[in-house]
Amino acid sequence: MEKTEGKGPLSGYRVLDLAGPLGLHCTKLLADMGADVVKIESPKGDEERNIPPFKDDVPHPEKSLYFLHFNTNKRGVTLDIEKPDGKAIFLELVRKADVVLETARPGTMESSGIGYQALRAQNPALVYAAITPFGQAGPWRNYKANDMAGIALGNLLYLAGEPGEPPLQPPGEIAYGMASTYGAFGIAVALYHRLESNKGQYIDVSMHECAGHIAGYFIPTYGYTGEKPARASRKGEETDLYDPYRTKNGYARIFIIPVEQWRRLVDWMGRPPSISGPEFEKMAYRRKHPDIVVGAIAEFCSRFTKEELYDEGQKRRIAVTPINTAGEFMNMPQTKERGIFVDMEHPAVGEYKQFGVVPRLMDTPGRIYRPAPLLGEHNDEIYRGELGMSADDLVALRAEGVI
């Protein structure tokens, strides 16, 4: 086993991870920053082991690429915390832990006898975080919500897709991601506070409230002006300056705010008379005349590849970006030079490229050093090595279905 020492600002901290999909990115952020995250799975394995895609499309609990990504750097044990022996082992782990993260329905941990108050009695310095769909209070607190439900209530789903067709979910789990990120931030603040106070605390994160932050400025704008945005068509009936433009090989976006960038674009385009007048220097005017502006830019973009537009546009200090596939992103010179992906190997998946650490702390960077755990991979290391149990104990606990 590799030591976590010297692997980032959270090395030396132990996190017990009871999270489902809603909190996986949270403990991954902590693990990537050097925390020793111990993932506690039920003896039959966590549900996210069933989430596709799978290596070679073969469904198998050790081949879920979803599980592989979100559990990098974590150690894994199996434990049935509902059983009395499982609970006792869990409490022993809590005594040596700094953080517990869970995503269970409010009240579940309490009714199992391992709620915050019970754990605090074991370890007063414990930072306990619960990330739940709606938080611990309010009329919807016991409702179920997945990522799509989160962004649906958060007004991001309503805006995605063609009018008349069903609203469309994003490719990644944005609401889970935002809730997990706020969870990690809250945990970091609590640990910072604990450096002086030596006191732990309880952290309550609502995915529903986190999701409300993602959609942008619609809540403040509606609250002030009553304006409410609609789902926008991309099929040509209406056009927006900032929608992607077709190029020779795909699409690119040109997003302009400062007037200098507008001038540079017009110069680059050879100052076409239709958009070179001073009135077009005002964004408000451009937005009022999308037919003229979009028409001229679209004609210009159709003459280049998206990479040509990207390289030349950025050279000219204009915010141009190519609309890339996942593979194109992995092969971008920028991606390679920054070493965004790390070569890893996993017993069931083989060699793969793991997405790296964000953000980058230059003196104490986090790093990727361990693939996601196999089911129960670290039972022996933790139960025997750290809790001092015997080999016989493990056999008996396994027979009982505790581990």
Partner 1 sequence: MAKLPLEGIRVVELTTGAAGPTVARVLCEFGAEVIRCETRLRGDGHRGEDPKLWNKKPDFMKLQRGKKSFTVNMQTEKGRKLVYELVKISDVLVENFGLGILEKWGLNWPDLKELNPKIILIRVKGMGCSGPHAADLTYGPNVGNTMGTTYLWNYPGATTATAEPRTQHPDFMGGVTGAFGVVLALMERKKTGRGQWIDSAQQEIGASILGPKYLEYSVNKREPRPEGNRSLIAAPYGPYPCKGNDRWCVIAVYTEDEWERFAGLLEKSGMKRDVKFATHFQRVRHKDEMDKWVASWTKQHDPYEVMEMVQGVDVCAAVVQDVEDQFKNDKQYAATGYLVRMNEPEAGEMVTENVPVRLSETPGRVRGFAPLMGEHTHEIARNLLGLSEEEIKKLDEEKVFY
What is the smallest separation between the CB atom of 275 and partner 1, expressed in angstroms?
18
300 binds partner 1 (CB under 8 A): no
Element (H, E) at 254: strand 250-254
Size (the chain), residues: 403
CA 378/CA 374 separation, integer angstroms = 8
Q: Measured on CA atoms in the order 71, 72, 74, 80, is the torsion positive or negative?
A: positive
348 binds partner 1 (CB under 8 A): no
268 binds partner 1 (CB under 8 A): no
* Of 229 and 295, CB closest to partner 1: 229
CA 188/CA 306 separation, integer angstroms = 40
Rule CB under 8 A: choose which of 237, 291, 363, 392 binds partner 1.
363
334 binds partner 1 (CB under 8 A): yes
From residue 105, alpha-carbon distances to 6, 86, 94 in Å are 36, 20, 20
Give the DSSP letter of residue 158: G
Which residues 68-87 are close enough to bind partner 1 by CB under 8 A? Answer: 68-70
User: How many residues bind to partner 1 according to rule CB under 8 A?
Assistant: 152
What is the smallest separation between the CB atom of 179 and partner 1, expressed in angstroms?
8
Q: Measured on CA atoms in the order 229, 233, 234, 238, is the torsion positive or negative?
A: negative
CA 13/CA 30 separation, integer angstroms = 9
What is the smallest separation between the CB atom of 317 and partner 1, expressed in angstroms?
6
Which residues 110-169 are close enough to bind partner 1 by CB under 8 A? Answer: 134-135, 137-141, 143-146, 148-150, 152-169
Stretch of residues binding partner 1 (CB under 8 A), selected from 86-94, 175-183, 270-278, 390-398: 175-183
14 binds partner 1 (CB under 8 A): no
394 binds partner 1 (CB under 8 A): no
Which residues 304-333 are close enough to bind partner 1 by CB under 8 A? Answer: 314, 317-319, 321-330, 332-333
CA 49/CA 34 separation, integer angstroms = 24
What is the smallest separation between the CB atom of 367 and partner 1, expressed in angstroms?
14
Neighbours of 68 (CB within 10 A): 22
347 binds partner 1 (CB under 8 A): no
- DSSP states of 100-137: EEE-PPTTHHHHTT-SHHHHHHH-TT-EEEEEESS-SS
What is the smallest separation between the CB atom of 386 and partner 1, expressed in angstroms?
24
Which residues 178-197 are close enough to bind partner 1 by CB under 8 A? Answer: 178-179, 181-186, 188-193, 195, 197
Strands 341-346 and 350-355, sheet pairing: antiparallel
* Of 318 and 389, CB closest to partner 1: 318
Rule CB under 8 A: choose which of 91, 118, 283, 292 binds partner 1.
283
Burial class of residue 181 (count of CB atoms within 10 Å of its CB; 0-12, 13-18, 19+): middle
Rule CB under 8 A: choose which of 91, 118, 214, 298 binds partner 1.
214
* Of 87 and 370, CB closest to partner 1: 370
What is the smallest separation between the CB atom of 397 and partner 1, expressed in angstroms?
27
* Of 148 and 374, CB closest to partner 1: 148
Tokens for 61, please give them: 């609990």
Q: Which of helix, strand or coil describes residue 7?
A: coil
Stretch of residues binding partner 1 (CB under 8 A), selected from 251-259, 265-273, 286-294, 392-400: 251-259
Q: For the CA atoms of the chain, what is the radius of gyration?
A: 25
